[in-house]
Amino acid sequence: MKKIFLISTILFLVQLNVFAQNKLPKNLKQVVMYLDKDCPDSIKIQIKNTHQDSLIYTVYPFAKTKPYKDYKTIFNWTSENGNPKITKYLDKKGVFDNHSNVLLYSFKQYLVNGKIKEKDIINNYIKLQKQLDDKNKIKYITDTINKIYIPKNLEDCFVQINTFWNDSIKAKVKTLEENEFTGKVHLGFGMWMRNNWQLWGGSRLSKYFNNLNIYHPDDMSGIILVSYHRHLNNKEVRLEEQVKYYQDYWENSKKNELKAKTESFSKYKIGDTLKFSYPKGFVSKEQEDKYDNDICTAKGIITERNEKDFLIKVKIIETCDKKGIVYYDNGDDIIYDPKTRRSSKPPKRIIKKIKHNKEQWFDYKSWEPVE
């Protein structure tokens, strides 16, 4: 009897542990529903009692103590290779940063109030994002951010690194092979540069590299480290050669991405039945509830393909609501005005719907094959 109980307990814990991996939320309501089942009580209490500004420190990767530092569900959902459904959902709503914070704050609201106001949460983070954007307008011209001097160009980086490292360290660096040196310091000193010289957040140094058509912080720090090692060894830096290496790398990446997109699109055949992913939202609360609870999902059949623009024409065969489905909504669009240098929402909101038995062109990613 004890063995049976022990086995049952282990199976329950295993199922609980993989719950959030098997269930990938598509919106904030699903996020809190899944987390409520997945998150241990001790972590729920911590999240519930933590101020909004510090929520990121209650779970992996910023929590320092157990069990909090071992709870990776939210990180797994929002990391680069995580759950594209929730990150794309937030992006489409206009929240491009702080995805983990949004999920944690939503869960906190759920734990405190028993429900969430999704629209209010989204709007709050859009406002926060704008405040940070306004605050950061000067970051591309100032020479100091967070009390740390920001180099203005590559040569200035050499000057700063020389002040950081004494002669014995520089002598050691000179003896290392170029690849060995960059490999050793990429995650240590390289990370310090990327974070403190604001290569991620933006600075006059990142702008310097942007003007060279170098945009990824890892590429920037790589060029700095390689160039410094060559400078220290009285070798030619060959900056143009380094820049071309990274430009070629990203050009090949784009080609590979296009190839992958083409292969993905090729799976969408005329006559195939698809299910709708509601990228522009729902026509009603009832339709949303049916989707969230896997009761009903809109479906359609491919009638035409546009391979150049990766579009498919779909005939709607199921809408889960007599009002149809939303295929266009500019409510979350942001329009940039180059004259005023300001971004704003469209002056008039336009929502377009399509009903049962009608046809419409869609981005193929708006639909998923029925398995």
List the structure tokens of 20: 């959030």
Q: Is residue 258 part of a domain?
A: no
pTM over 0.85: no
pLDDT tens for each residue of 163-219: 999 999 999 999 999 999 999 999 899 999 999 999 988 899 999 999 999 999 999
Tally the domains of the chain.
3
pLDDT at 8: 41
Q: Is residue 70 part of a domain?
A: yes
| Domain boundary, last residue among 66, 101, 136 | 136
CA dihedral defined by 115, 84, 91, 75, rounded to 10 degrees? 60
Q: Is residue 260 part of a domain?
A: no
| Domain boundary, last residue among 136, 158, 173 | 136
Looking at the fold, whether 245 and 297 belong to one and the same domain comes out as: no
Looking at the fold, whether 131 and 156 belong to one and the same domain comes out as: no
Looking at the fold, whether 220 and 178 belong to one and the same domain comes out as: yes
Q: Is residue 226 part of a domain?
A: yes
pLDDT at 20: 43
Q: CA 27, CA 35: separation in Å to the nearest integer?
A: 12
Q: Is the peptide bond before 347 cis (omega within 30 degrees of 0)?
A: no
| Domain boundary, last residue among 223, 252, 281 | 252
DSSP string, 158-185: HHHHHHHS-HHHHHHHHHS-HHHHHHHH
Looking at the fold, whether 110 and 30 belong to one and the same domain comes out as: yes
Residues 6+ apart with CB under 8 A from 237: 154, 227, 230, 231
Domain that holds residue 46: 13-136
pLDDT tens for each residue of 60-91: 888 888 899 899 999 888 876 666 788 888 88
pLDDT at 154: 98
